[in-house]
């Protein structure tokens, strides 16, 4: 049985990836927390800071994985602008540690990346588009990609955007936040000028396992199957979860006064993934319907 080492295992993508991979792979998941948030009984967990090079390398050498899935990162876009040292340590320094291990072993690195690599003028972006990040989060992910490309041959950079879903003890994502806010009867302002293709995290985890099993290399976009504005996505969320769409007011990004600049016309062209993978990349409604069944405790 092949082995996968998953960083950020207690996070939203990490938990789903552990669950999906552990059906066919031997899994070791790591994260900052001393205790595991995982439901899977078929995975091992260790509380490890992946920026601690010595401890990380010791665990890797002991486990000896075939694949490292780097689902750990500092993903708070505004937080990255405020805490640049911490953002760099997690998003670049930790990747350097993983690259160092993989360069000396027969081990593939699957790195999660983002549409925030781009300036948001011409999205959705194909794999060969020229990077031009407008914020520090995107800059750190760009630098991580450059590190990997310069030092490894056996890698897959999986770019994605706007992950949503449910898992144990994870921070809110756009969908869970909106559902709770609308349930409370509170009005929300949602931007009409930011475009992406959101992806259900379960769907992304399935696609990542298929990529690993196919031994794909290079760069691959794994966005959802529908390109739409954040406002239109919010309306679909309200419709699927039977919430009051009249509480949603359309605005534009400049009205929010956010700390970090955002690529407006972002998102990813997933044409290549559709051609290569049997895993269907769900559109917004399909993904939300799956999430609704999960919330309701249905299979």
149, part of any domain: yes
% of the chain at pLDDT higher than 70: 100
| Phi, psi of 89, deg, nearest 5 | -60, -45
13, part of any domain: yes
184, part of any domain: no
Tell me the C-alpha distance between 189 and 251, whole Å: 6
Tell me the C-alpha distance between 119 and 121, whole Å: 6
Number of domains in the chain: 1
Q: Which domain holds residue 152?
A: 3-164+199-224+266-281
Q: Give tens-digit pLDDT for 112-123.
A: 999 999 999 999
42, part of any domain: yes
Strand, helix or coil for residue 229: strand
Tell me the C-alpha distance between 114 and 267, whole Å: 9
155, part of any domain: yes
Burial of 73 (0-12, 13-18, 19+ CB in 10 A): buried
Q: Give tens-digit pLDDT for 255-297.
A: 999 999 999 999 999 999 999 999 999 999 999 999 999 999 8
Q: Which helix (H) or strand (E) holds 108?
A: strand 108-114
182, part of any domain: no
What does DSSP say about strands 195-196 and 228-229: parallel, antiparallel, or unpaired? Answer: antiparallel
103, part of any domain: yes
What does DSSP say about strands 108-114 and 155-160: parallel, antiparallel, or unpaired? Answer: parallel
Q: Give, as one character, the DSSP assignment of residue 105.
A: T
Tokens 């205790």 correspond to what residue? 35
Tell me the C-alpha distance between 172 and 277, whole Å: 29
Residue 39 pLDDT class (50, 70, 90 cuts): confident
299, part of any domain: no
- Residue 146, beta-bridge partner list: none
Q: Give tens-digit pLDDT for 20-31.
A: 999 999 999 999
Residue 1: both structure tokens together? 């049985």
* Residues 6 or more apart in contact with residue 242 via CB below 8 angstroms: none
pLDDT at 120: 97
Over range 140-149, report the average pLDDT: 98
Over range 58-83, report the average pLDDT: 97
* Residues 6 or more apart in contact with residue 14 via CB below 8 angstroms: 6, 7, 8, 29, 31, 71, 72
- Residue 70, beta-bridge partner list: 7, 111
Asked if residues 25 and 208 have their Cβ atoms less than 8 Å apart, the reply is no
Q: Give tens-digit pLDDT for 244-260.
A: 999 999 999 999 999 99
Asked if residues 102 and 69 have their Cβ atoms less than 8 Å apart, the reply is no
Does the predicted TM-score (pTM) go above 0.85? yes
Tokens 């509480």 correspond to what residue? 247
Q: What is the CATH number of the domain that holds 102?
A: 3.40.50.720
Over range 189-207, report the average pLDDT: 98
């Amino acid at each position: 049985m092949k082995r996968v080492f998953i960083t950020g295992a207690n996070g939203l993508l990490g938990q789903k990836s552990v669950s999906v991979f552990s059906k066919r792979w031997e899994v070791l998941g790591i994260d900052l927390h001393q205790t595991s948030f995982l439901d899977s009984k078929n995975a091992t967990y260790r509380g490890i800071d992946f920026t601690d090079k010595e401890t990380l390398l010791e665990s890797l050498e002991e486990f000896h994985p075939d694949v490292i899935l780097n689902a750990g990162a500092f993903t708070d876009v505004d937080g990255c602008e405020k805490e640049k040292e911490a953002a760099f340590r997690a998003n670049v320094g930790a990747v350097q540690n993983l690259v160092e291990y993989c360069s000396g072993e027969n081990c593939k690195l699957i790195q999660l990346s983002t549409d925030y690599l781009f300036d948001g003028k011409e999205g959705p972006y194909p794999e060969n588009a020229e990077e031009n990040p407008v914020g520090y989060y995107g800059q750190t992910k760009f630098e991580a990609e450059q590190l990997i490309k310069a030092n490894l041959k056996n890698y897959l950079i999986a770019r994605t955007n706007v992950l949503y879903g449910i898992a144990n003890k994870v921070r809110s994502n756009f969908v869970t936040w909106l559902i709770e806010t609308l349930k409370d009867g509170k009005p929300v302002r949602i931007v009409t000028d930011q475009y992406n293709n959101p992806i259900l995290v379960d769907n992304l985890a399935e696609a990542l396992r298929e990529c690993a099993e196919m031994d794909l290399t290079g760069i691959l976009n794994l966005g959802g199957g529908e390109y739409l504005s954040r406002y239109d996505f919010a309306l679909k969320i309200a419709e699927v979860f039977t919430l009051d769409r009249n509480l949603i007011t359309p605005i534009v990004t400049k009205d929010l006064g956010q700390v970090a600049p955002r690529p407006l016309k972002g998102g990813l062209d997933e044409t290549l993934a559709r051609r290569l993978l049997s895993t269907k990349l769900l559109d917004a409604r399909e993904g939300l319907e799956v999430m609704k069944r999960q919330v309701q405790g249905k299979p």
